[in-house]
Structure 1
Amino acid sequence: MGAKRILVIEDDRRLQDLLHQYLGTFGYEVKTVGHAQEGLNLLEAFAPALIILDLMLPDIDGFEACREIRRRGATPIIMLTARVDVADRVAGLEIGADDYVSKPFEPRELVARIQAVLRRGEGALTQPAEAVLSFGRLRVDTAAREAFLDGVPLGLTTSEFEALSLLARNAGRVLDRDALLRALRGLESDVYNRSIDIAMSRLRQKLGDDAKAPAFIKTVRGAGYVFIAKADAHA
């Protein structure tokens, strides 16, 4: 298997060079570009396993670039920014980023976050005996790492799929935010605690699930979340 590819979209040339060299020492194949549109143009041809995306770019705002990447697929995204406002970090997670690193940062910390995100994408959680979980209109394919509603792919991000998969494999059991956080992030941060609620909100939107009268994910006030759909009976 070849080296995992990482696309760095960052306009700071010194940081480009640093990331290209440093990530290369960990066996990654790295391509750096200074404009969002350059990165978007490379998505199909380069097919990165992960994207490092600067928030402040000279052509397209990083948030809009993140939205466009999400429209095209579920490639994991780690956002970089010099901004310290928590609202910015939350906004990045809300539109589909998988992680968020503030500048300045230690390169080794970034590598650790890359490794964590990629592990989640490869199925770090224990796979069930059944590769496909079916709940009426909803099908969760843990081998293909895709979920389908009425046969249509939901286009979930890495974190969204992990959240849905974990809930579905524990149907009927209330999972608190700490359990979800440990499974999805392995990190302790107010931003990531908030991201659990964000992930649930995005999941509900994609599932067409009404929080007040849910068919799939129910909020248990003060406790967490529970997957309430019934699994299909086996033939």
Structure 2
Amino acid sequence: MSRPLITILDDEPEIRQILTETLEEAGFRTQSFSRAREFEASLNRVTPDVCLVDLSLPDTDGLALVHRLALEQGAAVIIISGRAQVQDRVTGLELGADDYITKPFDPAEVVARIRARLRGGPRTVATTGNTAQFSGWTAHFDRYILEDDTGEETPFSHAEGEVLRLFLESPKRLISRAQMQESLGGGAGESFDRAMDVRISRLRTKLREDPKNPRLIKTIYGAGYIFLGDVSWL
């Protein structure tokens, strides 16, 4: 089985070297880039398993790049940035990042976060197909597209897709935060809770839910969530 490929985009050579050495010692393959243009060109040739992306890049806006990656690539996206403000974290997650690590970081933590993402991804993909129908919607997980009953398409990110698939694989059953953490991985505690809140809010918007009274993704306060639609996998 091929070792997972991790791409590193950071304009600091010391950071690239630390991450490359640490990840390769941990058993991953790596590619590193100092410029977004070279990084994006590489995506036309191969899709990495995880992209590590710095936000402060000399040739592009890092947040805009994260958003493009989340919508267009099947890879998980982890931001590694010196921007430690809460709003930066929230914005990164809202734009589709799977996780957010601040500099300075412990290389061992980066390895652990990557392994958590890789554990979350394949487990959710393996049990069902790539297309599900529910409540007038069709979710195409191979294309990261939601299609309504008129054929109008709305893209969703890799991170949003993980949560949606988790709901669709367990309809009409309570899914606790602990179960979501176990299935999806990622940072623990408040960071994980905030990431889930952001992804679920974005999914509700894309499913045209009433935020005050959602009909599909119900919050059970203090317990978790229930997806109320009837689901069929194609």
What TM-score results when the alignment is normalised by the length of structure 2? 0.83
Q: Aligned partners of 2:35 and 2:140: how far apart in 1?
A: 35
Q: What do residues 144-194 of structure 1 show as CA deviations (whole Å, max 9, x unaligned)?
A: 596643467754434322222222233223333343233322642312111
Q: In structure 2, what is the equivalent of residue 67 of structure 1?
A: 67
Residue 109 to residue 158, structure 1, CA distance change in 2 (3 Å):
same
Residue 80 to residue 203, structure 1, CA distance change in 2 (3 Å):
same
* CA displacement at 1:11 relative to structure 2: 0.5
Q: In structure 2, what is the equivalent of residue 149 of structure 1?
A: 147
Task: Indicate if the aligned counterparts of 1:75 and 1:157 stay in contact, CA closer than 8 A.
Answer: no
* CA displacement at 1:213 relative to structure 2: 4.5
Residue 171 to residue 147, structure 1, CA distance change in 2 (3 Å):
farther
Residue 50 to residue 152, structure 1, CA distance change in 2 (3 Å):
farther
Higher mean C-alpha displacement, 132-141 vs 59-68: 132-141
Task: Indicate if the aligned counterparts of 1:82 and 1:102 stay in contact, CA closer than 8 A.
Answer: yes
Q: Aligned partners of 2:16 and 2:61: how far apart in 1?
A: 18
* CA displacement at 1:96 relative to structure 2: 0.7
* Structure 2 segments unaligned to the other structure (5+ residues): none
Residue 122 to residue 154, structure 1, CA distance change in 2 (3 Å):
farther
Higher mean C-alpha displacement, 3-12 vs 117-126: 117-126
Q: Aligned partners of 2:183 and 2:123: how far apart in 1?
A: 11
Asked which structure has the greater RCO (Cα within 8 Å, sep 6+), the reply is 2
Q: In structure 2, what is the equivalent of residue 217 of structure 1?
A: 217
Q: Aligned partners of 2:194 and 2:168: how far apart in 1?
A: 21
* CA displacement at 1:221 relative to structure 2: 4.1
Task: Indicate if the aligned counterparts of 2:6 and 2:28 stay in contact, CA closer than 8 A.
Answer: yes
SS in 1 for 2:123: coil
Task: Indicate if the aligned counterparts of 1:90 and 1:191 stay in contact, CA closer than 8 A.
Answer: no
Amino acid at match of 2:137: L
Task: Indicate if the aligned counterparts of 2:133 and 2:139 stay in contact, CA closer than 8 A.
Answer: yes
Q: In structure 2, what is the equivalent of residue 5 of structure 1?
A: 5
Q: What do residues 86-132 of structure 1 show as CA deviations (whole Å, max 9, x unaligned)?
A: 2211221111111111112221221111111112121258836x886
Higher mean C-alpha displacement, 84-93 vs 178-187: 178-187
Q: What do residues 215-234 of structure 1 show as CA deviations (whole Å, max 9, x unaligned)?
A: 421233454322111245xx
Percent identity of equivalent pairs: 33
Q: Aligned partners of 1:117 and 1:51: how far apart in 2?
A: 11
Residue 145 to residue 120, structure 1, CA distance change in 2 (3 Å):
farther
What TM-score results when the alignment is normalised by the length of structure 1? 0.83
Q: What do residues 4-40 of structure 1 show as CA deviations (whole Å, max 9, x unaligned)?
A: 2221110101111222222222332211111222212
Q: Paired residues, what number? A: 232
* Structure 1 segments unaligned to the other structure (5+ residues): none
SS in 1 for 2:101: strand
Amino acid at match of 2:18: L
Question: Given the alignment of the two structures, is residue 162 of structure 1 paired with residue 162 of structure 2, yes or no?
Answer: yes
Task: Indicate if the aligned counterparts of 1:94 and 1:198 stay in contact, CA closer than 8 A.
Answer: yes
SS in 2 for 1:171: coil
Q: Aligned partners of 1:35 and 1:131: how far apart in 2?
A: 33
SS in 1 for 2:89: helix
Q: Aligned partners of 1:47 and 1:213: how far apart in 2?
A: 39
Please tell me the root mean square deviation across aligned C-alpha atoms, in Å: 2.9
Amino acid at match of 2:111: V
SS in 1 for 2:52: strand
Q: What do residues 43-80 of structure 1 show as CA deviations (whole Å, max 9, x unaligned)?
A: 11132121100121112122111112223233211111
